[in-house]
Structure 1
Amino acid sequence: MADWLTQVPESALAHLDGGRVDEVECLIADLSGVARGKAMPASKFAHQTHFYLPNSIFYQTITGEWADEAAQEEFTEPDMVLRPDYSTASAAPWTADTTLQVIHDAFDKAGEPVPYAPRNVLRRVMKLYEEKGWKPVVAPEMEFYLVARNIDPAKSIEAMVGRSGRPAAARQAYSISAVDEFGPVIDDIYDFAEEQGLEIDGITQEGGAGQLEINLRHGNPIKLADEIFYFKRLIREAALRHNCFATFMAKPIEGEPGSAMHIHHSVLSTSTGKNLFVAEDGGETDLFRHFIGGLQTYLSPATCVFAPYVNSFRRFVKDNAAPINLEWGRDNRTTAIRVPVASPEARRIENRLPGMDCNPYLGIAASLACGYIGMVKEVEPKPEYIGDAYHAEEELPRGVYAALEEFAAAQPLREVLGEHFCRVYEAVKLSEYDDFLRVISPWEREHLLLSV
């Protein structure tokens, strides 16, 4: 056995079943959460401690262009040093040969973490918590659609056809029969997840046609972000096996609910292990209130991270399972900030703003950053909202430009996430929006061609 295999999780060794690794995929997430990297023979991987990729992967937009920020720093594309985190080694069970995936961390040639690498941004936020004696715990929820194959961008996305031969139906939230329609795909999702050592807490049918939700067990934020990074790939691969697509777009189908990545948070004491949201008498602590206050104050400036594309903002529709303001409430799914029903030990705060299209490392980092600032600055929340929060005033930015303007002005948030990251992220998002503005949409042709 190669020395590096002694450092990988048991699930990766179990996948090998005493055999040998043929190939290793060396992965890192770019700003969009897209997997970048290299695939190489396992024999070569075994004899190297690192490899190189140009830093331009973090300046690349979702359309494949490069942001202006790269030119400002002179576009010489210097190499980064990528080092493997062997604890992330995971099977790629859909491949024809025996392949392991390994997530890498990015450093500059002086050995310093690259500040705009998403995993490093999350690690930066985690370090701030650790310095306070706090241990953040998160539990993400993943919503996505299984849709019919779509190879024509001009064609509307349609629900997939289930095993009954009928297109998936909408408005069937929590229906077991609806889940059964996607049985073969879900079976492969379970099988792939087991091979990769990923634990699923449950799968449910959501309100959209072909929309599913996977809940993950609570745990370390970096580990959970890694799992979402892996899950997106395995779900796509499972769907392709059954002649359909899996999409994590925030709003893929007109008239259907959007897909969210709700994040549940709690904060433990590193010295005692106790939930810092729980007082000695079982009541709610000042830190609990201040975390909510931080979310209410800084979620709006962080919206460009939670809603990174023009499509993302189509999700924030009144009465359609997504927040339109920053109210908070107990067991209230109309608010952006929800306190679920739970025992005192399991007390947590749910951020319902992020879309499933956001980068999981950045989404979790930004959400924890907002709560951190609230706790450090002792930000008091508004009174709890009682009733339907869709009756309250809309508060979220209405589009990419508005969101980026708020992000630019939120100095406390930028300090926590890192100014260098914020500049690169802004440049990439502005470049993407410029690309979008060059496209003439069907709506414009339908309503403006002969009428204006």
Structure 2
Amino acid sequence: MAQILAPSPKCQMGAPKHSFITSPAASSRLWSSVVLKQNKQSGKLKYSSKFRVLAVQSDDSTVNRLEGLLNLDTKPYTDKIIAEYIWIGGSGIDLRSKSRTIEKPVEHPSELPKWNYDGSSTGQAPGEDSEVILYPQAIFRDPFRGGNNILVICDCYTPAGEPIPTNKRARAAEIFGDKKVVGEIPWFGIEQEYTLLQQNVKWPLGWPVGAFPGPQGPYYCGVGADKSWGRDISDAHYKACLYAGINISGTNGEVMPGQWEFQVGPSVGIEAGDHIWCARYLLERITEQAGVVLTLDPKPIEGDWNGAGCHTNYSTKSMREDGGYEVIKKAILNLSLRHKEHISAYGEGNERRLTGKHETASIDTFSWGVANRGCSIRVGRDTEKKGKGYLEDRRPASNMDPYVVTSLLAETTLLWEPTLEAEALAAQKLALNV
């Protein structure tokens, strides 16, 4: 479980002294506004490592006086901190949050009070009994407020202490708390793809409004004004995650222009879900400041364009040790037998993405292969060569719930046992598949 560490140097998210406007006419100036503050000294640009919180400029270019207040350092004047309680809303993918004052810095979620919110306003409770209780579960440093202020990942319960239907973390915690699962130390590396949209037209960033860019090819990991749109958002998010204590391991531009990816992991058990949800929250906040819309739709643009997935890399202790390749193959066999159960839990609209094209397998057919990105499950060449390692589940959509996907992988491969007849039949099918 993520924990707040000792106070670190102040880090504030940032923009140049004169922030940007978000009208279409200002789009050419947008990307200089998100990450670095520029200062001219001796005729040279100096880039400061200090982040600053954005303050949006009005249309008449009047300086927004909120900026100084947003960046106030309260530590010299009070021990109190601000805790931003974050939870998942009624759709199962929307994030909500609200703030409260805590009397002093904390180091563990157990030190924080439970809280409540109006569930009737988030689609999670009826109006006549609307109170939903927030249970703090994981703490991260707050890169927007800096200092000792924190972000708190919560899950949601009824006043009687029962997890509400959208609380998928509670079930995941049960699975990851099983002794057999704990002993296998499950590792996850999650590749979160996302798409950036222009705010007013909901069309991908960098695309001509109402028209299309050139075909896919030059955009994946591309560099240049005609190949990459949104790098400042990706970089700002990268630094914010590192500051927060999220186990982010990398980023890259994706195949479709305006689409990006970040990777979180390796993370153990329930921590993977906590870190992905917090990383998503940071990305929502950063795109909010930049005047850009974030979408996790698995196929935001129909046609000959790649969709957005959330490939999940997975291994257990037995897979990582000598002889692990046979353990991986047994895990794949189990996954093949529960393909429908996994697909039903792997994100809304995934059928529009898993078509068998654009580096995906068909949603209706389970397949696996070595170094094959058109399969349901991919095994790396290095894993095959070493005889141990990990597998990659390429089926989850970009809008999947990481608590659901990670716990389902652990359950299917470590706790669920197929019948001998089903296992034998699946083994025959998989042999033919390979």
Q: Same fold (TM over 0.5)?
A: yes
Counterpart AA for 1:348:
Y
Q: Which residue type is aligned with residue 187 of structure 2?
A: V
**Superposition map of 1:78-97 within 5 A:** 79-85=131-137, 87-93=138-144
Which residue, out of 11, 27, 40, partners 2:86?
27
Partner of 2:376: 336
1:149-228 equivalences in 2 (<5 Å): 149-150=199-200, 157-160=203-206, 170-177=216-223, 181-228=229-276
Give the counterpart letter for 2:250 in structure 1.
Answer: G
The structure carrying a bigger helix percent of its residues is 1
2:341 corresponds, among 284, 295, 301, to: 301
User: Secondary structure at the residue paired with 1:195?
Assistant: helix
Written as runs of structure 1 = structure 2, the 5 A alignment for 1:229-268 is: 229-255=277-303, 256-268=305-317
Structure 2 vs 1, CA of residues 159 and 142 (structure 1 numbering), >3 Å: closer, same or farther?
Answer: same
RMSD of the TM alignment (CA)? 3.7
Q: Within 1, Cα distance between the matches of 2:415 and 2:408? A: 11
Hey, what does 1:321 align to over in structure 2? 359
* One-letter amino acid of the counterpart of residue 284, structure 1: Y
Counterpart residue identity of residue 312, structure 1: N
Contact 1:205 1:212 in 2 (8 A): yes
1:205-236 residue CA offsets vs partner (Å, 9 max, x unmatched) = 22112111212221213212111111112223
1:300 match: secondary structure: helix
Alpha-carbon contact 2:367-2:433 (below 8 Å) kept: no
TM-score normalised per structure 2: 0.68
Which ranges of structure 1 fall in alignment gaps of 5 or more residues? 1-6, 269-275, 388-452
Distance 1:43 1:21, change over 3 A: closer
Aligned to 1:177, the other structure's residue is in SS state coil
Aligned pairs for 1:346-425 (under 5 A) are: 347-373=389-415, 379=423, 381=427, 382-384=429-431
Which position in structure 2 is the counterpart of 1:40?
A: 100
Structure 2 Cα separation of the partners of residues 76 and 377 of structure 1 = 47
Identity across the alignment (%) = 19
**Residue 185 of structure 2 corresponds to residue 126 of structure 1:** no
Contact 1:193 1:199 in 2 (8 A): yes
Q: Gaps (5+ residues) in structure 2?
A: 12-72
The partner residue of 1:284 within 321, 325, 330 is 325
For 2:342 and 2:271, how far apart are their aligned partners in 1? 22
CA 192–220 in structure 1, closer or farther in 2 if over 3 Å, else same: same
Q: Distance in 2 between matches of 1:375 and 1:127?
A: 18
Separation in 1, partners of 2:431, 2:260: 30
Q: Is the Cα–Cα contact under 8 Å of residues 236 and 247 in structure 1 kept in the other structure? A: no
Write out the 4+ residue segments of structure 1 that deviate beyond 6 Å after TM superposition: 44-48, 166-169
The offset of 1:33, in angstroms, is 3.1
Looking at structure 2, the residues matched to 228 and 222 of structure 1 have their Cα atoms a distance apart, in angstroms, of 10
Q: 1:377 to 1:38 in 2, by over 3 A?
A: farther
C-alpha deviation, 1:28, in angstroms: 2.3
Q: Partner letter of residue 378 of structure 2?
A: R
Contact 2:186 2:268 in 1 (8 A): yes
Give, in angstroms, the shift of residue 348 of structure 1. Answer: 0.7
Selected match of 1:49 from 113, 120, 131: 113
* Cα deviation code 1:410-452 (max 9, x no counterpart): xxxxxxxxxxxxxxxxxxxxxxxxxxxxxxxxxxxxxxxxxxx
CA distance in 2, matches of 1:194, 1:279: 30
Superposition TM-score, scaled by structure 1 size = 0.66
Report which stretch shifted further, 320-329 or 357-366: 357-366
Question: Is the partner of 1:36 in helix, strand or coil?
Answer: strand
Q: How far does residue 357 in structure 1 lie from its aligned partner after superposition? A: 0.9
Could you report, residue by residue, the CA deviation over 1:301-345 in whole angstroms, capped at 9, with x for unpaired residues? 23222132xx33211223222220211111111110111233548
**Which deviations, in whole Å up to 9, do the C-alpha atoms of 1:56-90 show, x marking residues without a partner?**
57xx9xxx656xxx78xxx85364543323x4233
8 Å contact from structure 2 (residues 181, 414) kept in 1: no
Letter of the aligned partner of 1:122 in structure 2? A
Greater displacement, 38-47 / 354-363: 38-47
How far is 1:296 from its partner?
Answer: 0.9
Number of the residue aligned with 1:421:
none
Q: Quick one: which amino acid aligns to residue 242 of structure 1?
A: A
Amino acid in the other structure paired with 2:4 = P
In structure 2, relative to structure 1, the CA distance for the partners of 1:168 and 1:21 (3 Å cut) is farther
